[in-house]
Structure 1
Amino acid sequence: MTKEDIFEPPIAETDVDHILDATGLLCPEPVMMLHNAVRDANTGEVIQVMATDPSTMKDILRFCDFLGHELIGQKTLGDAYYHWIRKV
């Protein structure tokens, strides 16, 4: 069994309110798109970000720390990086 075979998000898919597809984009575009998505989301809503740029693992963590949003989890699946953020 590989790491990809046991990929499980930290929350149920039904608990995700917004899905942001930032695949194929490089820094800073995924974080800029996340900033817009957070602005449009209501407090408490969850945004799932899918990206292919490995720098999103650090950049989204810093984004959440700086703005006070909750980073629920981050996972890697092959060449894709998944992030779940709750707007605070």
Structure 2
Amino acid sequence: MEPLTRIDARGLLCPLPVLRLRKVLEGLDRGAVVELLATDGASWIDVPHFCAQAGHGLISAEDTGGVLRYVVRKN
């Protein structure tokens, strides 16, 4: 599955990665897939929490050498 939209939030600190994700998701249709790249360790907690609260699907979350990669489906 290839994300349609990529957000590069590397170098940004909490809460900016989640705020960028929320803003992008607001402008997309239901079912759209977004990839978020972040380096802030707090996003490891914040992104899953945001997805659960907002009802979005967290498809995957992985740490690849200090870059945290999230794939989220808008519900």
Pairwise TM-score range, normalised by the shorter structure: over 0.9
Whichever residue aligns with residue 22 of structure 2, its letter is H
1:71 and 2:52 equivalent?
Answer: no
Runs (4+) off by over 4 Å: none
The structure with more strand, counted as a fraction of residues: 2
Any unmatched runs of 5+ in structure 2? none
- Cα RMSD (Å): 0.7
Aligned identity (percent) is 33
Query: Which is higher, the Rg of structure 1 or of structure 2?
Result: 1
How many residues of Structure 1 are paired with residues of Structure 2 in the alignment? Answer: 75
Any unmatched runs of 5+ in structure 1? 1-11
Whichever residue aligns with residue 55 of structure 2, its letter is G
TM (norm. structure 1) is 0.83
- How far the C-alpha of 1:63 sits from its partner, in A, is 0.2
- How far the C-alpha of 1:41 sits from its partner, in A, is 1.1
1:19 and 2:6 equivalent?
Answer: yes
TM (norm. structure 2) is 0.96
